[in-house]
Amino acid sequence: MKRRKAQRTNQTIMRGIVAMALVVLLVAWLFLSLVSCSQQGPTFRVSGTINGAEDSTLIVEAMTLTGAQPLDSLRLKADGSFDFDLPLPPQDSTASPEFYRLRIAQTVVNFAHDSTEAITITAPFERMATDYEVEGNDASRTMKTISLLNIQLQQQLRRLMADGSLSDLEKSEHMEQLVEQYKTTLKRDYILADPASPAAYFALFQTIGSQMIFDPERDKSDVQYFAAVATQWDELYPAALRTENLRNIAIRGLQNTRPARSFELQLDSDKVHEVGVIDFGFPDISGRERRLTDLSDNVVLLDFTAYALPQSQQRIILLRELYAKYHDRGLEIMQVSLDSDEHYWKTMCEKLPWVCVYCAEGIANDIVQLYGVNSLPAYFIVGRGSELKARGEQIPDLEKAIAAEL
């Protein structure tokens, strides 16, 4: 009897412990659910259908500056439908368009998000990378076109490599031509056409295998395209990490692709004051040589710059204000471009009202070195009579310094 009574007591105690544990687990689950909901924040929806992919695992990934980061996944059912609620990027000064991809094994669909609340993607599994459709985001549709051109290029390169009728040298030459044609299309149709767009950003980072199509570290002609996008993004998304990355790439590219200097010569401002100003002549947009001393009746703001610099557009706005305010009183601006691409320079300065000239040798030019230009922009105030008054580092307030000479 005593033993049976003890057993019943133990059973009662165990049932009580189990019940208590279940209550604790339920409370914990409710708490975690509430915390999860409170921390989830606003989302945007990505949904659609991948036909013919039953039981395949569909993964959605964020394409961050450090690589692909998985956000969510699911196993597709017979109808192929999917639905993801993804964290909405911050809607503040740090925001910029963000990039994502859907992935099944090694097959991907790229898409972007800027301000839309819902994106729909449909595709047949067998041709998921080429025949997908995107609704709700125009940039993603343009990105699809860029991706298809990339796939087409890679198919052409593979056929070329398999062509036994060509020598290795001929294959290499043809491959370079094909890649250059693709780059030209990206530059003309997707980067310079709308450098503020997510598609322009996407175009900059296209690759063949692991090799980037654009190489701003080594190719000075590629730097300007990063700078063009960086300039526009700096206006729209000044505090975004992607904007900072673009700026850094452009600046580093300008530094790395400068021609090596044969010598360094710093020009002392006192010596310049004694001999006046070092005269020079460079061609303007029509090919006419324009000399600094031709402007001797004016106060001249002499500005060495590159229009591909990320800060170029803001600087142009500042110079327009100064020119509009003081030109009638005798101010002239002479802007010497050190851009690597002459056509790009002509496009950028075509509508500017002041004297714009081009130095094809860039920062390696002897005159540029004589003026001690080590970084851009670098500017000087030249008084009437072609007398050098001051350089940028000596000028705390540019407008006051100009007004004092007029």
Could you read off the pLDDT of 318-331 as tens digits, one per residue? 899 999 999 999 99
Q: Does 355 have pLDDT greater than 50?
A: yes
Q: How confident is the model at residue 14 (pLDDT cuts 50, 70, 90)?
A: low
Residue 141's pLDDT is 95
DSSP 190: I
43-136 and 269-405 share one fold: no
Residue whose pair of structure tokens reads 């007398």 in the numeric block = 387
pLDDT single digits (tens) 77-99: 999 999 999 988 776 666 889 99
Average pLDDT over every residue of 98-109:
95
Between 208 and 273, whose confidence is greater? 208
Q: How confident is the model at residue 179 (pLDDT cuts 50, 70, 90)?
A: very high
Residue 352's pLDDT is 93
Please choose, from the candidates 380, 371, 376, 360, the residue with its C-alpha nearest in 3D space to the C-alpha of residue 259: 360
Q: Does 232 have pLDDT greater than 80?
A: yes
Distance separating alpha carbons of residues 391 and 371, to the nearest angstrom = 9
Q: Does 76 have pLDDT greater than 90?
A: yes
Burial class (CB in 10 A: 0-12, 13-18, 19+), 137: buried
* E strand spans, 193-288: 207-208, 211-212, 281-283
Q: Does 49 have pLDDT greater than 90?
A: yes
Tokens, residue 225: 């395209």
Q: How confident is the model at residue 149 (pLDDT cuts 50, 70, 90)?
A: very high
Question: What are the structural domain ranges in the chain?
Answer: 43-136, 269-405
Average pLDDT over every residue of 43-48:
94
Q: List CB contacts of 121: < 8 A, sequence separation 6 or more.
A: 46, 47, 48, 102, 109, 111, 132, 133, 134, 135
| 398 neighbors 322 (Cβ within 8 angstroms) | yes
| 290 neighbors 402 (Cβ within 8 angstroms) | no
Residue 322's pLDDT is 94
Residue 59's pLDDT is 97
Distance separating alpha carbons of residues 230 and 309, to the nearest angstrom = 9
Q: At what angle do helices 138-161 and 168-185 cross, to 10 degrees?
A: 170
Among 54-63, 163-172, 255-264, 371-380, the least confident range? 255-264
Average pLDDT over every residue of 197-215:
91
Residue 93's pLDDT is 62
Residue 9's pLDDT is 54
CA 332 to chain CA centroid, nearest Å: 34
DSSP 350: T
Q: What angle do CA 226, 215, 131 make, to 5 degrees?
A: 80
CA 10 to chain CA centroid, nearest Å: 70
Proportion of the chain above pLDDT 90, given as a percent:
47
Q: List CB contacts of 196: < 8 A, sequence separation 6 or more.
A: 229, 232, 233, 235, 236
| CATH (residue range 269-405) | 3.40.30.10
Between 24 and 172, whose confidence is greater? 172
pLDDT single digits (tens) 266-321: 444 443 333 357 888 999 999 999 999 899 999 999 999 988 877 788 888 889 99
CA 212 to chain CA centroid, nearest Å: 14
Q: At what angle do helices 220-236 and 241-256 cross, to 10 degrees?
A: 150
Q: How confident is the model at residue 262 (pLDDT cuts 50, 70, 90)?
A: very low
| 349 neighbors 356 (Cβ within 8 angstroms) | yes
Residue 261's pLDDT is 39
- Would you call 47 helix, strand, or coil by DSSP? strand
Q: How confident is the model at residue 39 (pLDDT cuts 50, 70, 90)?
A: very low
Distance separating alpha carbons of residues 198 and 208, to the nearest angstrom = 20
Bond into 377 cis (ω within 30): yes
Q: How confident is the model at residue 156 (pLDDT cuts 50, 70, 90)?
A: very high
| 135 neighbors 123 (Cβ within 8 angstroms) | no
Distance separating alpha carbons of residues 209 and 219, to the nearest angstrom = 19
Residue 60's pLDDT is 96
Please choose, from the candidates 128, 139, 148, 136, the residue with its C-alpha nearest in 3D space to the C-alpha of residue 206: 148
Expressed in percent and rounded to 5, the helix, strand and coil fractions of the chain are 45, 25, 30
Strands 57-64 and 211-212: unpaired
Q: Does 100 have pLDDT greater than 90?
A: yes
43-136 belongs to CATH 1.20.200.10: no
Between 279 and 206, whose confidence is greater? 206
Please choose, from the candidates 331, 324, 321, the residue with its C-alpha nearest in 3D space to the C-alpha of residue 383: 331
* E strand spans, 18-117: 43-51, 57-64, 67-75, 81-87, 98-104, 107-113
Between 126 and 228, whose confidence is greater? 126
Between 26 and 284, whose confidence is greater? 284
